Structure 1
Amino acid sequence: MPCSVAAASSSPMFYPSSKKLSPILCKPASSPPPLSLSPLPLAIKKSFNNKDEDGGEDGLSKVMVLKRKRPARIDIPVLNMGFDDIKMNEDKDDKLSEMEVEGEGYSMYCKRGKRGGVMEDRYSSILDLRGDSKQAFFGVYDGHGGAGAAEFVSKNLYRNVMNKVASRTQGGIEEAVKDGYLTTDVEFLKENIRGGTCCVTALVHEGNLVVSNAGDCRAVMSRQGVAKALTIDHRPSQKDERNRIENLGGYVDCCHGVWRVHGSLAVSRAIGDSHLKEWVIAEPTTEVFRITQECEFLILASDGLWDKVSNQEAVDVVHPLCLGIDKPEPFSACKKLVDLSQSRGSSDDVSVMVILLSHFIQ
């Protein structure tokens, strides 16, 4: 889902005044060469030649602490989905701290981590694909090295995936989704923006649920109250991922208990990360499921949740808030999961999306 201000000199500046300065200020340690003084700015001259508004002495004391005026803040948009009404809460530093969405058949809540910095998570939710209320695209994106990659992917991945799905002449939908991910990766690398992003997406297409991920964002479905992970976390600690990286001439090592690619990145697949692109690939893992009455809801979340909350725990929190009641409360479920993760010590950004699958049964 992102202006620099020049600081004034911290050293005081002394200018000649129409009044006689005290010996302490004007007597030098040794006789310096004559100074060539540039004309003073009009605003400074005025401060010497006029009294203060309150009738006090001239502006010498003000000149001694004069600082350069701070330029006006530039508003840089950090999130512009254009598909849903979104409520964004900002803290006193004008940094995005929360994202809240309540849509038709789904809700999403994201909260910035306690470790500070900018929020690097983003999301996408596109309903009524091709004018069909039973088709939609959802995604959660966990950026690293800045929010640029997650912001870019949130705006472009769905378009590339849907273009590939519409234009495919052979092969299954899994291949079309993979091509959409890879196309988005190529487009992002051309932008020369640092960082990358993990992704998890869910495409509801012709009665099927097409779930894909690259990295450690995860999708978990509830089927009659039982949690089922639909994705695999792509981490360099996995034997197959480690072998793939090493066979390409790269290496993985363990730093403070965390396995990393080249001692840097803790995931082995992501969109972006140009400096590791040879080993950190954008190819997703995809699974296709038929949506039936047993499929209750789907949770898409960043690793900020899954590092502190198990799959079944997450389902147990959401289940009573979304099933068996007159008005399901998926947003309350999202917020409760985020709060649970942070109460257990998560300092990462936490993003949770809950999708009510009954809304999309054909």
Structure 2
Amino acid sequence: MYVAHVGDSRIVAGVKNRYNRIEPKALTIDHKPSNRSEIERIEKLGGQVLYKNGVPRVVWARTKHSHTGPVRRSTHVDHIPFLAVARSLGDLWSYQFEHEDYLVSPEPDITHHIIDPEHHRFLVIGSDGLWNMMSVYDAVRQVEKYSWERANKSGGRLLSHTISKQLVQTTINKWNARSLRADNTTAITIFFEFPRS
């Protein structure tokens, strides 16, 4: 399995260990402006990371709203702590002409993983709204528990869409319990079902 990842959504595998317990194995590293390597890359391109409401963000240097005419070195700019991700697709505003590169990079991390039918059970792909409220351990435990319950009630079929829905609902309930406005929350659960010989 190849994984091409950019941003702060996360992919976690549920993997059976030697004690027959399912454990989480993160397959991606979040591209956040709190990561030392991402800060160094951004600063090397002339950008910066500032905190806003306790969250590190990539700074958007934009001309003041009152500015008219061409942009020169003497043009006054506002420095706005903007995005809480260090890599994403489509953030053209972050292009640095001087360095011919993006502060918010579209370059993915690409990894290769061998799926072992004896150990790999499922993947959980979730947006940051999911992972901000739920640990990888809690997510894997919930998928493991729910998949067994559903498999036993549905004649052996794993209903991954209902498991994903439950992950999202559990997360939204956690956002609400903390009286916080929920971040976008998406989950996809993929089960590995291997043919039996």
Normalising by structure 1, we get a TM-score of 0.41
Partner Cα separation in structure 2 for residue 255 and residue 321 of structure 1: 38
Structure 1 position 218 matched with structure 2 position 36: no
> What is the rounded CA distance, in whole Å, between the counterparts of 2:160 and 2:120 in structure 1?
15
Q: 1:321·1:329 contact (CA, 8 Å) conserved in 2?
A: no
**In 2, Cα distance between equivalents of 1:360 and 1:284:** 32
Partner of 2:105: 281
Name the residue aligned to 1:260. 57
Deviation at 1:322, TM superposition (A): 2.4
Which ranges of structure 2 fall in alignment gaps of 5 or more residues? 17-21, 60-80, 96-101, 176-180
2:51 counterpart SS class: strand
Segments of structure 1 that go 5 or more residues without pairing to the other structure are: 1-208
CA distance in 1, matches of 2:194, 2:143: 16
Give the conservation status (yes or no) of the 8 Å contact 1:261–1:268. yes
**How far has the Cα of 1:359 moved from its partner?**
4.7
Alignment correspondent of 2:167: 337
Give the partner amino acid of 1:214: V
The whole-number CA distance in structure 1 between the counterparts of 2:126 and 2:90 is: 19
Distance, in Å, in 2 between the alignment partners of 1:348 and 1:218 is 15
Cα gap change, 1:318 to 1:243, in 2 (>3 Å): same
Larger Rg, first or second structure (1 or 2): 1
Relative to the length of structure 2, the TM-score reads 0.73
The aligned length equals 153
Does structure 2 conserve the Cα–Cα contact (< 8 Å) formed by 1:245 and 1:251?
yes
Query: Does structure 1 residue 321 correspond to structure 2 residue 151?
Result: no
Cα shift at 1:321 = 2.6
**1:352–1:360 CA distance, 2 compared to 1 (3 A):** farther
Q: What is the 5 A alignment of 1:1-362?
A: 209-224=1-16, 225-262=22-59, 263-277=81-95, 278-293=102-117, 294-323=119-148, 325=152, 326-345=156-175, 347-359=182-194
The 3 A distance-change label for structure 1 pair 241 and 268 is same
- How far residue 337 of structure 1 moved from its aligned partner, in angstroms, is 0.7
Q: Is the 8 A contact 1:295 1:358 kept in 2?
A: no
Structure with greater contact order relative to length (CA < 8 Å, sep ≥ 6) = 2
Runs ≥4 in structure 1, deviation > 6 angstroms?
Answer: none
Give the partner amino acid of 1:292: D
Amino acid corresponding to residue 53 of structure 2 in structure 1: H
